[in-house]
Amino acid sequence: MVTAHPLHARALDLLCAGTGNPNATFRDGQWDAIRHLADGDGRLLVVQKTGWGKSFVYFIATKLLREAGNGPTLLISPLLALMRNQIEAASRMGVVAETINSTNQDDWHPVAERVRRHEVDILLISPERLANAEFQATVLDTIASRVGMVVIDEAHCISDWGHDFRPQYRQVERLLRRLPAQSRLLATTATANDRVIADLREVLGHDLTITRGDLARPSLTLQAISIPNRANRLAWLADHLGDLPGSGIIYALTKSDAYRIAIWLRSKGHAVDAYTGGDENDRRIALEQALLENHVKALVATSALGMGFDKPDLGFVVHFQVPGSVVTYYQQVGRAGRALDDAYGILLHGRGDTDITTWFINAAFPARKDVEGILEALRNATGGASIPDLERLVNLGRGRINHALLLLGLESPSPIAKEGSRYFLSPAPLPEAFWDRVKRITDIREAEQAQMQAYATLPFGDHMRFLIDALDGDASDVPPTRLPPMPETVSETTVREVVTFLRRTHLPIEPRRQWPAGPSPAWGLKGNIPDRYRAEEGRALSLWGDAGWGDTVRRGKYEADEFGNDLVEACAGMIREWRPTPAPTWVTYIPSLRHPSLVPSFARRLATALGLPCIDAITKTVDRPEQKHMSNSAQQLLNLDGSLEVNQRAVQSGPVILVDDMVDSRWTFTVGAWLLRSSGSAEVFPVALSQTGSDE
């Protein structure tokens, strides 16, 4: 009998303490996993759906092993900022848990000292710590010989095939080689199809024991609703959010969408807020708590609110766009209905969804020409190159440069080396196998994207079976859907209100405060931008291509080659509502040799509408590529360097509105403001018709 095991009663006591429920019992498979680890029966992979209680397995196993005299547990997880509830449960069981991650840097040294003094039962780290030399020297090296158990949370991140592959997880294999042979290993995940499991066997060992639970979620009613455009999707949310049960999550693929959706729904009286990875940690904690306590109807979230967040009574999950893979979708929609009889998982889909997910697929790995450009720059760099150096040498965004260097640095042997902040070329060539792996993974992700598009077209009632089949589970006994489908219609009145909202939701243009590293050859710009030469906060009328003015701007620029008077009136209204202070006394604009009349014509009509003079104060002297083709700040400034001049006799001494059609990097406005202020102008207020969103 299972209950005859000498540790079963103690394990059950710990479960009751951790849950706060004196009558708690183990779920199917929980005790088996704990016993497996306590008895040292080999490496174990647990694949169980979200909410099953994987954290109780590793915390209880840790406590039992520590009471038996074993060393501490090392837990590797990408979700440390979302594990507050689990850590509180561990504390109730008497498990001393500490963490070292990016949100608690001030605590790193005290925590490391407690680990060395054997005062910590389980140390939680992010995968990035494994590649950190200081962590290896001050913490890992001191405990490697006595680690009792290693837990790899969200183990699908190890897999190149996985939907959430984290390159730093490739360090896990190297870590395991350093640990004592008797160390236990537990890997956990909610989503791993057969391909991912095969990959995990390669890393964790072919003797890996695998337990897989039932993937079906009987409480979830899944539905896909075809809604052609963003305006109608916003209208659907406003019309039907109040009809969804309890509180929930609305997922968006981008930060700008999350904020825009939240602002719109609040304007319609819904208690919602936006939650993104760009928010401060304290704000995210407060938002999570507000959702846990049902103080909000929904959080409009990016994937930052995903694995690790646990609200058992979440009544619904709505996706504003189609995610990139079935496993991503199953993870996110599975947050709903864990402790409810019924909950909704609604997928809204339509035009433009694949544009975003295709961008994510293409951004996952650098292109061959980009890597070759970085390696060539390092080959020619005497004394190595820093990230700012590389920004000046290759036309890649800082994020892409960092990502490429990370991937190259994880190769063994690596074609690059790092000393301090500088990178060098090593003697090792980059193997062709690197590109074979990139192609293989990219092909898989494109297939997963197509799979999600197929999911979106299924009839009502077929969705859960499709998900389980796609995850290589057993879909033979999926229960029928219990809730009725949600309405698919939207009110035309609400759609009109959405368009009006978007046309009145103006976007701030934040001023740049520092020039890119390395002076520009023509102007010699470097360092901080003094206040007297800096642009003020500006305004953009629209987001490029959106259902407000954004599509009108797009048609004006690329079809009519003229911005209509409706845009002039809208922009003048925006400025009157904004009321920049001190009040502008004149208008000027950023000229273009490519479209010589487009912006000047608009600026002159805008000035007339505002009752101000429009003065041709800036001249374009050299035709350069459009700024949208420049991928980082250094390249964007170099692209402008020396290409604009100011007619100093034309510059007025009062505050000025500086007009351009598009804003993306903000460097054109930054340079224009510097030129005008240097020539005697007062405050410069940038105004653009559209923001592209590429500056996020």
Q: Where do the domains of the chain lie, and which CATH numbers do they carry?
A: 2-212 (3.40.50.300), 220-358+448-490 (3.40.50.300), 365-437 (1.10.10.10), 506-691 (3.40.50.2020)
pLDDT band, very low/low/confident/very high, at 80 (cuts 50, 70, 90): low
For residue 695, the model assigns a pLDDT of 36
Q: Is the pLDDT of residue 198 over 90?
A: no
Q: Strand, coil or helix: what is 25?
A: coil
List C-alpha distances in Å: 355 to 229, 302, 358.
13, 17, 5
Residue tagged 């003015």 (tokens) = 549
More confident residue, 575 or 280: 575
In this prediction the pTM is 0.82
pLDDT band, very low/low/confident/very high, at 389 (cuts 50, 70, 90): very high
For residue 454, the model assigns a pLDDT of 95
pLDDT band, very low/low/confident/very high, at 163 (cuts 50, 70, 90): very low
Residue 275 phi, psi (nearest 5): -135, 115
Over the stretch 11-40, which tens digit does the pLDDT of each residue have? Answer: 999 999 998 999 999 999 999 999 999 999
684-691, strands of its sheet edge to edge: 507-509, 538-543, 684-691, 656-663, 586-589
Positive/negative CA dihedral, 159, 163, 169, 170: positive
Distance between CA 125 and CA 127 in Å, rounded? 6
Instruction: Provide the strand spans (E) within 476-547.
Output: 507-509, 538-543
More confident residue, 38 or 437: 38
pLDDT band, very low/low/confident/very high, at 117 (cuts 50, 70, 90): confident
- Mean pLDDT within 494-503: 93
| Residues 55 and 89: beta-carbon distance below 8 Å | yes
For residue 166, the model assigns a pLDDT of 62
More confident residue, 157 or 671: 671
For residue 167, the model assigns a pLDDT of 66
Over the stretch 261-319, which tens digit does the pLDDT of each residue have? Answer: 999 999 999 999 999 988 888 898 899 999 999 999 999 999 888 766 778 899 999 99
pLDDT band, very low/low/confident/very high, at 49 (cuts 50, 70, 90): confident
